[in-house]
Amino acid sequence: MEGPQGKIIYNRSSRGSKSKSLPALHLAGIVFKNIYPKYRATFINNRHGINNTLYAGTQLIMALTYKVEVLEICQISPPLGSISTASLPLTFFDIPWLVLPPVQTLFYYELNHPKTYFMNTILPNIKHSLSLTLQHFYPLAGQLTWPQDSVKPQLLYMDGDSVPLTVAECDYDFDHLSGNLSRNADEFYPLVPTFEHAMSDDKLVPILALQVTFFANKGICIGITFNHTSMDGQAFHHFIKSWASICKSEGITSLVTESLPFYDRTVVKDRKGIEIINLNDLEAMNITKDTYNILRIPMVPIDKVRGTFVMSYLDIKKLKQWVMTRLDDRHVAPSFRISTFILISSYVWICSIKARQDTQDDKSSCQDWREYFLFSIDCRPRLDPPLPMTYFGNCVGGCIANGDRNELIGENGMVVAAELIANAIKNVDTELWSRMEKGSSYYKSLPPGRFVSVGWSPKFGTYETDFGWGRPKKTEMNVSDGGAIALNSCRDEEGAIEVSLVRDAVEMDAFASLFENTVSALHL
């Protein structure tokens, strides 16, 4: 059907209902050309759970000026009849993620082909391999729901369920977007999909959405949005690498079947009653089976910049030597192994504190002089019995280090930070469970603006994700503002680490200066 200013694409949802998408409009923030002003988009307000209406021709255009053109929106299902109806109950590792926004990631691939080759050769293989992959990762095609006869939410897959795949093209500067310099954070949001079809039923929340954006004779970007309630970073990379493997082999699934996801959740034992604590936390936030509406749309960080910084292997080695020298000066043998993770985490923690202090008058308003550093640790090997690394779901726990700010920004702040983070890791088997028993109250008690959280991990090996077009030129987790930092391996140098973050321009400049100059100024 043709509209006055563009095509209206009809999508058949996984429940069989027919929904009409707006002409050249991607809901919840992505504005395309040829917008027809009389159409409007309704979305769920992520604070109050109420319906709000944004008119396509006004507010959305004012909010975002970066645009891509949608070529196609389709639904990709596992092969018909390959999977029957199945459900997975959430565990106490999954439930806390219900109230947080979806995770967004970007994979950039250099590809020197015209549009006709992309549409006729590459895209069909992307769709076919995704369908085959979903046969093994079927929960991702399902929905998150809370049945009336269940005490907790679950992942539900029904035969015919599907993952929305948006195909788009744009004329952005591919090299600019996939570079490391400071870039406008708003430029990236048109490249990641949204959960627009979730609006058909507030009780059914989607788990995965995908977008492939074509840059003529330059490359493609695979944008991924997934609900963190369904899986952690380890499980996500199991999925994305399985999909890449099938795509690269043009449909051969033998490597994937050798490492299938593990779905048995009866082996995840809740020995301390943490699940009840989590459900009570939800009820306190008015999230129950009757009021269930937990869709969270990531907020667009207007007027923020994104930066990626690389610490080389030689700089990491120099930093380690400096820390070891300071420890030797105290004539006390270090009680911990100075790992790359501890060094990088300490470094970005100190740089973040100093950058914030340099750009904000926060001393006058701060009554809590402690700073906090949050990171996750994989609990699969820590459970009894241990879980296989192919376990599908969430199985990470939060670790927290905290220390006096004056000591952290002092002359030996790096040593102080390294010891604090090392001790948090050392005590994880006791502190982790103790913190879980406190539920969300502990995290709510942390002073706003006084913590840095690190996500992702160089161990995921994101640059090994090859769909048949070579290694990615760049991979990024679409971190939001608020203290979050993503750590990643480096494509071009073994042993180097990429650090990505989003801040306002002034604080980013301060962080960049500190990150680039602090190591070079160290005297061994």
Say how many C-beta atoms besides its own lie within 10 A of residue 258's C-beta.
7
Q: What CA–CA distance (Å, rounded) separates 115 from 94? A: 41
Say how many C-beta atoms besides its own lie within 10 A of residue 303's C-beta.
10
Task: Report the pLDDT value the prediction gives residue 316, as an integer from 0 to 100.
Answer: 96
| Residues identified as active-site | 228, 466
Is 25 within 8 Å of 41 (Cβ atoms)? yes
- Residue 58 half-sphere exposure toward CB, CA atoms < 13 A: 6
Task: Report the pLDDT value the prediction gives residue 297, as an integer from 0 to 100.
Answer: 60
Is 415 within 8 Å of 368 (Cβ atoms)? no
Q: Which of 246, 267, 264, 265 is nearest to 255 (CA)?
A: 246
* Long-range CB contacts for residues 19-23, cutoff 8 Å, separation at least 24: 19/197, 19/200, 21/73, 21/196, 22/56
Q: Which of 152, 382, 421, 97 is nearest to 280 (CA)?
A: 152
Please give the C-alpha separations between residue 510 and each of 358, 366, 372, 507, 523, in angstroms, as whole numbers. 7, 20, 20, 5, 22
Does a cis peptide bond (omega within 30 degrees of 0) precede residue 386?
Answer: no
Task: Report the pLDDT value the prediction gives residue 364, as an integer from 0 to 100.
Answer: 43
Q: What CA–CA distance (Å, rounded) separates 466 from 248? A: 7
Tokens of 236: 């996500």
Task: Report the pLDDT value the prediction gives residue 65, as an integer from 0 to 100.
Answer: 62
Tell me 198's DSSP state. Answer: G
Task: Report the pLDDT value the prediction gives residue 59, as an integer from 0 to 100.
Answer: 34
Which regions of 347-463 does DSSP assign to beta strands (E)? 370-378, 396-404, 451-455
With a cut of 50, which residues of the chain have pLDDT below it? 1-63, 198-199, 364-366
Residue 142 contacts by C-beta under 8 Å, 6 or more apart in sequence?
14, 155, 156, 157, 158, 161, 207
Q: What is the pTM of this model?
A: 0.85
Task: Report the pLDDT value the prediction gives residue 62, as an integer from 0 to 100.
Answer: 34
Maximum Cα interatomic distance, the chain, rounded to a whole number of Å: 78
Task: Report the pLDDT value the prediction gives residue 61, as an integer from 0 to 100.
Answer: 31
Scanning 148-253, the segments in alpha helix (DSSP H) are: 174-177, 233-248
Is 468 within 8 Å of 247 (Cβ atoms)? yes
Task: Report the pLDDT value the prediction gives residue 303, as an integer from 0 to 100.
Answer: 81
Please give the C-alpha separations between residue 355 and each of 312, 435, 483, 485, 509, in angstroms, as whole numbers. 21, 29, 11, 14, 8
Task: Report the pLDDT value the prediction gives residue 334, as an integer from 0 to 100.
Answer: 67
- C-alpha angle with apex 432: 429 to 434, nearest 5 degrees? 105
Task: Report the pLDDT value the prediction gives residue 290, as an integer from 0 to 100.
Answer: 85
Please give the C-alpha separations between residue 398 and each of 52, 157, 431, in angstroms, as whole numbers. 34, 29, 9
Say how many C-beta atoms besides its own lie within 10 A of residue 17's C-beta.
11
Q: Which secondary-structure segment (H or E) carries 501? A: strand 497-503
Domains defined for the chain, CATH in brackets: 53-285 (3.30.559.10), 305-521 (3.30.559.10)
Tokens of 98: 């219900």
Q: Which of 165, 84, 80, 69 is nearest to 126 (CA)?
A: 165
Tokens of 348: 């970005």
Task: Report the pLDDT value the prediction gives residue 296, as an integer from 0 to 100.
Answer: 58
Tokens of 139: 């929960």
Task: Report the pLDDT value the prediction gives residue 444, as an integer from 0 to 100.
Answer: 84
Residue type, 18: K
pLDDT in tens, 72-112: 999 999 998 899 999 999 999 999 999 888 999 999 999 99
